[in-house]
């Protein structure tokens, strides 16, 4: 069953839910009972596409998703990721795309998520020590075994996607895509459309920036990943906030929030573009989902497209160290892998 047909089967809205924020990346994890309640509320308000990963919270996120949604398993599209995990012995993140690692991680994920299969399973990052064909071949064997229904890739280039799909159909590619991160438009979107591959947009709200959630770098907690992202630095953030004011003006005209406007712009890029905003707040989950019904006229879309373009944004989206982990095309002709 394809990714798109599974979305239809469970009557999923265009907008899915990224579950990472509950356990990983943005300060201390949400207490388990609160996280479970948030996921249950998300289901009740209409979310059907839930996205997690082995990495998030060093497996804690999968556990909480499993506890919250196991009883609703047949009513949702469940996606997770492999190939990047916290190594307890080393105490750090490790990228490992070897076939034996991917199978072991998949089987562990199934146990944590309390299910016998995943609807979509992504290779979280390309392991430069392992040919993409080998990693995808391992995932293809998991499809044959019935452990996963479809294969996805994350933060990869158009060239890597074409190599991968020669080995097995790729149902979805997950890439950062938003008003202030347009990298998929360089080449990846076209490559996805060549093969009916969905583009699943993570961080569609610019890690909270487009929703107006970050107005001062000093408000970020000590263990917030945004500290290491140049766009949120004390030098760059004020410059970027001046650009955000233009988005706020249009949002006021439309009588919606800036986050809803950003999501509506993204869904207007095509039926094959699926945003998965994450949130720690039930109220924000509800606000994000409401953006699905927002339809923007051509003039408004043009105005939005002209905002927050690469030449207007100060700072790279990743630090130099994180940039080395991805395979995505970059503006200015520089490829991440070079």
Give the active site residues: 56
Structure tokens that stand for 212 in this block: 């107006």
Backbone φ and ψ for 95, nearest 5 degrees, come out as: -95, 125
Is residue 189 within 8 Å of residue 156, measured between CB atoms? no
Residues listed for the chain:
338
Counting Cα atoms < 13 Å in the Cβ hemisphere of 28 gives 4
Distance CA 52, CA 63 (A): 10
Distance CA 229, CA 106 (A): 30
Q: Which residues contact 230 (CB under 8 A, 6 or more apart)?
A: 236, 315, 316, 317, 318, 319
Q: How many CB atoms are closer than 10 A to CB 270?
A: 13
Distance CA 11, CA 29 (A): 30
DSSP 74-103: GGSEEEEEESEEEETTTTEEEE---HHHHH
């Amino acid at each position: 069953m394809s990714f798109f047909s599974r979305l239809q089967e469970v009557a999923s809205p265009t907008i899915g839910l990224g579950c990472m924020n509950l356990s990983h990346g943005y300060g201390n994890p949400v207490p388990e009972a609160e996280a479970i309640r948030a996921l249950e509320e998300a289901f009740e308000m209409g979310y059907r596409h839930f996205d997690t990963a082995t990495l998030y919270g060093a497996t804690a996120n999968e556990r909480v998703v499993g506890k919250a949604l196991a009883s609703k398993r047949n009513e949702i599209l469940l996606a997770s990721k492999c190939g990047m995990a916290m190594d307890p012995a080393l105490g750090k993140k490790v990228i490992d795309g070897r076939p034996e690692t991917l199978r072991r991680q998949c089987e562990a994920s199934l146990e944590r998520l309390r299910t016998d299969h995943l609807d979509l399973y992504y290779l979280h990052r390309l392991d430069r020590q392992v040919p993409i064909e080998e990693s995808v071949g391992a995932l293809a064997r998991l499809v044959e075994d019935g452990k996963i229904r479809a294969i996805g890739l994350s933060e990869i280039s158009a060239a890597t996607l074409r190599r991968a799909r020669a080995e097995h159909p790729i149902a979805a590619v997950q890439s950062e895509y938003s008003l202030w991160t347009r990298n998929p438009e360089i080449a990846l979107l076209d490559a996805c459309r060549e093969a009916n591959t969905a583009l699943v947009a993570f961080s569609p709200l610019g890690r909270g920036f487009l929703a107006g959630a970050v107005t001062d770098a000093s408000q970020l907690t000590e263990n917030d990943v945004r500290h290491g992202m140049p766009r949120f630095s004390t030098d760059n953030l004020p410059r970027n906030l001046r650009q955000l004011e233009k988005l706020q003006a249009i949002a006021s005209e439309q009588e919606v929030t800036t986050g809803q406007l950003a999501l509506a712009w993204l869904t207007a890029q095509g039926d094959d573009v699926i945003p998965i905003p994450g949130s720690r707040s039930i109220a924000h989950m509800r606000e994000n989902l409401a953006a699905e019904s927002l339809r923007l006229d051509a003039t408004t879309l043009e105005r939005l497209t002209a905002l927050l373009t690469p030449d207007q944004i100060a700072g790279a989206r990743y630090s130099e160290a994180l940039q080395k982990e991805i395979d995505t095309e970059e503006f200015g002709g520089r490829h991440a892998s070079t």
